[in-house]
């Protein structure tokens, strides 16, 4: 911290369980307790933070704390240098996107309780997560009612969607429309059953351009603010400052990448174990390009990462 006078108290009510922290959180001495975007998982964790005293940088909105995030101007220059501001092709070639085929609905490898995404045909930007409740072959697909800001959405019968799903390394997409809203014994919807489904094999090394901001940590070193350039199910490329020479990680070093993935209408925190594979100079002494590989991801993080990669991939089609 450049000055402790910029610290202001944070009320416990400003941190919510299961939600990412909106700012870096410090103790009274200016030591980082919680990185921005970190999710407070339990009440005990929240109470422990409160016991240490919670503070944030009062200048966070207009003048970000450079110990927690890099200066925007320097980051923007590097993003342009690496082509991060360029839009990807509308539809990457088959060699990049993986093998694609058309299959019947009964060949889809999904399970009850899987997440599906409903994308409005007339407005592709509107996507909502729903839960698969059941399938009546040739009749309908039953899903939960989408929720926005804690309230169920009213969707008219006949509304057309593109339905997207992910199972293992396969992504599925098909057209459907709402047949009926059902209220008993609980609220759910019947979608029309498609004649065919488009299936794409997602390769382990398929890289998707993203713009996520997070933190890269090795050992006991201070977390490095990092921009995720691209992401795959197997690893990522990042732009981040160099570590101090005495603690600079070597290739093969084990660390952690933390960031918040926006999936449908949810913000989900990820703390991914990683192995450092490459470090490249960018011609700027303040910044390096890191190549990392994900290692032994927990089941929950692997599922969230898969959903995020597929969502970003489908947004480029």
Tell me the average pLDDT across 110-139: 83
- CB-neighbour burial class of residue 189 (10 A; exposed 0-12, middle 13-18, buried 19+): buried
pLDDT top residue among 247 and 45: 45
When pLDDT is cut at 50, 70 and 90, the band that residue 27 belongs to is: confident
Alpha carbon 176 to chain centroid, angstroms = 26
When pLDDT is cut at 50, 70 and 90, the band that residue 3 belongs to is: very low
Tell me the average pLDDT across 84-93: 40
Q: Quick: pLDDT tens for 182-204.
A: 988 889 999 999 988 988 766 55
- CB-neighbour burial class of residue 290 (10 A; exposed 0-12, middle 13-18, buried 19+): buried
Q: Quick: pLDDT tens for 265-283.
A: 778 889 999 999 988 887 7
Q: Which residue has the tokens 């997409």?
A: 173
Q: What integer pLDDT is reported at residue 230 of this predicted model?
A: 85
Q: Hey, which bits of 137-223 come out as E strands?
A: 140-144, 147-148, 151-152, 160-167, 170-182, 188-192, 197-201, 208-209, 213-218
Is it the case that residue 92 has pLDDT exceeding 70? no
Q: What is the spatial distance between Cα 311 and Cα 268, in angstroms, rounded to a whole number?
A: 14
Q: Is 305 helix (H, G, I), strand (E, B) or coil?
A: helix
Q: What integer pLDDT is reported at residue 5 of this predicted model?
A: 47
- Non-local (6+) Cβ contacts of 83 within 8 A are none
Query: Hey, how many other C-beta atoms are within 10 angstroms of the C-beta on 217?
Result: 20
| pTM score of the predicted model | 0.45
Q: What is the spatial distance between Cα 154 and Cα 128, in angstroms, rounded to a whole number?
A: 12
Q: What integer pLDDT is reported at residue 316 of this predicted model?
A: 60
Is it the case that residue 73 has pLDDT exceeding 80? no
Q: Is 83 helix (H, G, I), strand (E, B) or coil?
A: coil
Q: What integer pLDDT is reported at residue 294 of this predicted model?
A: 92
Q: What integer pLDDT is reported at residue 20 of this predicted model?
A: 74
Q: What integer pLDDT is reported at residue 12 of this predicted model?
A: 66
CA neighbours closer than 13 Å in the CB half-sphere of residue 219: 12
């Amino acid at each position: 911290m450049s000055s402790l006078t910029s610290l202001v108290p944070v009320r416990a009510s400003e941190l919510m369980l299961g939600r990412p922290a909106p700012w870096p959180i410090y103790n009274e001495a200016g030591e980082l307790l919680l990185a921005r975007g970190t999710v407070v998982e339990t009440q005990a964790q929240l109470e422990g933070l409160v016991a240490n005293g919670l503070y944030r940088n009062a200048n966070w909105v207009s003048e970000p704390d450079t110990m927690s995030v890099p200066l925007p101007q320097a980051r923007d220059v590097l993003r342009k240098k690496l082509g991060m501001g360029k839009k990807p092709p509308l539809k990457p070639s088959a060699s990049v996107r993986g093998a694609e085929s058309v299959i019947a609905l009964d060949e889809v490898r999904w399970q009850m309780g899987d997440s599906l995404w409903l994308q409005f045909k007339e407005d592709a930007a509107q996507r909502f997560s729903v839960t698969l409740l059941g399938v009546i072959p040739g009749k309908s697909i039953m899903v939960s009612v989408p929720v926005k800001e804690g309230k169920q959405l009213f969707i008219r019968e006949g509304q057309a969607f593109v339905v997207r799903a992910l199972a293992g390394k396969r992504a599925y997409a098909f057209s459907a429309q709402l047949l009926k809203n059902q209220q008993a014994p609980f609220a759910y919807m019947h979608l029309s059953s498609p004649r065919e489904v488009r299936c794409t094999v997602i390769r382990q090394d398929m890289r998707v351009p993203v713009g996520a901001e997070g933190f890269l940590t090795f050992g006991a070193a201070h977390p490095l603010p990092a921009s995720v350039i691209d992401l795959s199910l197997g690893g990522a490329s990042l732009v981040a400052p160099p570590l101090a020479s005495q603690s600079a990680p070597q290739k093969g070093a084990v660390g952690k990448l933390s960031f918040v993935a926006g999936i449908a209408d949810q913000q989900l925190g990820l703390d991914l174990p990683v192995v450092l594979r490459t470090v490249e100079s960018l011609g700027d002494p303040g910044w390096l390009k890191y190549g990392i590989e994900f290692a032994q991801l927990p089941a929950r993080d692997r599922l969230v990462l898969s959903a995020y990669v597929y969502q970003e991939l489908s947004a480029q089609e």
